[in-house]
């Protein structure tokens, strides 16, 4: 018997104080999952009361509420919901900010994600040849400082984006995966090298390590999705359908 389509909606860069006309459009597509890819609110503060209020304003939006009442939600963060523009491991409130993000996502108090340093996670949906693994990376919590000159980011040849613990976790998630489709999400772009904004290419050795890891583990059908600068609201919907080769 053919399995039901599994429809995924994803998005980023949602300012809690601005109009959000897309929630009702997304809800009409009846997604089976919503993925936040970062800048889920624009927090930009070290005051956790303020950050919590901004999350609450986003979460209480009537159209967003209508979506999440019928659709599971997972996600990771980028800089503005992390707490500081273009921020990394130096942000002093990262532990507290992580807990607020998990509250926003509705993560249970007893979840192992509450004890993990960093907002990375992996989820598996479907069975057999229809199995999809979604890996969401944290490109903030462990990221070394950026190198900037004349408002342009320069390569940091020795710095890290993910930190060694997250790298080891990612390799295990890919090596041990039985999924037929892999979706890897990051708050910053994997592929571009030219533009002056944040990107994995600011850490060329880390970027190379990422693509080398995909080659090493030989993951099936890998799709990457990331935030698009400068602050473009991007929402994507994809569906997987049964076929002769699975996904």
Q: Give a yes or no: residue 86 inside a domain.
A: yes
Choose between 4 and 33: higher pLDDT: 33
**pLDDT, tens digit, 9 for 90 and up, residues 195-231:** 888 999 999 999 999 999 999 998 877 877 655 444 4
Q: Domain for residue 195, yes or no?
A: yes
- Tell me the three state secondary structure of residue 125: strand
C-alpha dihedral, 200 to 201 to 205 to 206, nearest 10°: 0
Specify if 138 maps to a domain: yes
- 17 found inside a domain: yes
The structure tokens listed for 79 are 């800089």
- Would the pLDDT of 191 be above 90? no
Which of 2-6, 36-40, 46-50, 174-178 bottoms out in mean pLDDT, i.e. has the lowest?
2-6
Whether 59 is in a domain gets the answer: yes
Closest among 86, 16, 88 to 52, alpha carbons compared = 16
What pLDDT, in 10s, does the model give residues 83-102? 999 999 999 999 999 999 99
Position 1 in a domain? no
Nearest to 227 by CA among 191, 188, 183, 198: 188
Q: Sign of dihedral through CA atoms 189, 194, 198, 203?
A: positive
Length of the chain counted residue by residue = 247
Name the domain count of the chain.
1
**Lookup result for tokens 């004890």:** 115
Is residue 45 a part of any domain in this protein?
Answer: yes
Whether this prediction's pTM lies above 0.95 is answered by no
Question: 102 by DSSP, 3-state: which?
Answer: helix
Q: Is pLDDT larger for residue 111 or for residue 246? A: 111
Calculate the average pLDDT of the chain.
89
The predicted structure's pLDDT at residue 194: 85
147 CB-contact burial (10 Å; exposed 0-12 / middle 13-18 / buried 19+): middle
**DSSP 3-state of 133:** strand
Report if residue 223 sits inside a domain: yes
Q: Domain of 135?
A: 6-240
What is the CATH classification number for the domain harbouring 173?
3.60.21.70
- Give 125's pLDDT tier (boundaries 50, 70, 90): very high
Q: Which residue has the higher pLDDT, 9 or 151?
A: 9
Q: In whole angstroms, how far apart are CA 83 and each of 118, 130, 151?
A: 14, 37, 21
């Amino acid at each position: 018997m053919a399995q039901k389509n599994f429809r995924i909606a994803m998005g980023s860069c949602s300012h809690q104080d601005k109009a959000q006309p897309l929630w009702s459009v997304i809800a009409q597509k009846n997604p089976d999952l919503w993925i936040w890819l970062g800048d889920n609110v624009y927090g930009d503060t070290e005051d956790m009361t303020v950050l919590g209020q901004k999350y609450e304003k986003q979460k209480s939006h009537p159209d967003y509420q209508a979506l999440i009442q019928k659709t599971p939600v997972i996600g990771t963060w980028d800089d503005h919901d992390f707490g500081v523009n273009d921020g990394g491991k130096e942000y002093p409130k990262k532990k507290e900010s992580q807990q607020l993000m998990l509250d926003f996502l509705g993560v249970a108090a007893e979840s192992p994600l509450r004890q993990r340093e960093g907002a990375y996670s992996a989820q598996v949906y479907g069975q057999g040849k229809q199995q999809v693994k979604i890996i969401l990376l944290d490109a903030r919590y462990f990221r070394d400082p950026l190198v900037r000159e004349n408002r342009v980011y320069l390569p940091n040849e020795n710095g890290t984006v993910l930190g060694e613990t997250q790298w080891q976790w990612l390799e295990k998630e890919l090596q041990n995966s039985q999924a037929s489709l892999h979706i890897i999400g990051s708050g910053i772009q994997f592929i571009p090298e030219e533009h002056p904004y944040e990107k994995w290419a600011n850490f060329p050795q880390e970027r190379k390590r990422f693509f080398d890891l995909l080659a090493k583990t030989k993951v099936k059908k890998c799709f990457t999705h990331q935030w698009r600068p400068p602050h473009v609201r991007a929402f994507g919907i994809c569906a997987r359908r049964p076929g002769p080769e699975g996904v």
